[in-house]
Structure 1
Amino acid sequence: MEFAIINIGLSLVIGIIFILSAVILEKYPPTDINAVFGYRTRRSMKNIDLWNAGNKYSAEIMKKNGYYVIVIGSVISLLFKSPFTMFAIVVLMIGLIIYMIIKVEKKLKVLEE
Structure 2
Amino acid sequence: MDSLIYVLTTNGLLFLLSIIFWKFPPKKINNLYGYRTFKAMQNQQIWDFANNNFNKTLLVYAGLSFLGGLVLANFSAKEITWEPMVLVMLSIIVSIIKTERALSDNFTEEGKKNNSTF
Shorter-chain TM-score range? 0.7 to 0.9
Q: Which residue identity is paired with 1:95?
A: L
2:4/2:70 contact within 8 Å kept: yes
Aligned partner of residue 81 in structure 1, secondary structure: coil
1:7/1:73 contact within 8 Å kept: no
Report sequence identity in percent.
Answer: 25
Partners of 2:23 and 2:36 lie apart in 1 by 18
Runs of 4+ in 1 over 6 A off after TM superposition: none
Which structure's residues are more often helix, by fraction?
Answer: 1
Q: Which residue identity is paired with 2:31?
A: A
What TM-score, normalized by structure 2, do the two folds share? 0.78
Question: Unaligned stretches of 5+ in structure 1?
Answer: none
Question: Unaligned stretches of 5+ in structure 2?
Answer: 109-118
What TM-score, normalized by structure 1, do the two folds share? 0.81
Q: Quick one: which of 27, 34, 57 aligns to 1:31? A: 27
Partners of 2:41 and 2:55 lie apart in 1 by 16
Q: Name the residue aligned to 1:86.
A: 81
Q: Name the residue aligned to 2:51.
A: 55
Q: List aligned pairs for 1:1-113, cutoff 5 A.
A: 6-83=2-79, 85-113=80-108
Quick check: 13-22 or 49-58, which moved more?
Answer: 13-22
- Aligned in 2, Cα 1:99/1:32: closer, same or farther, shift over 3 Å? same
Partners of 2:6 and 2:103 lie apart in 1 by 32
Partners of 2:73 and 2:15 lie apart in 1 by 20
Larger radius of gyration: 2
2:11/2:69 contact within 8 Å kept: no
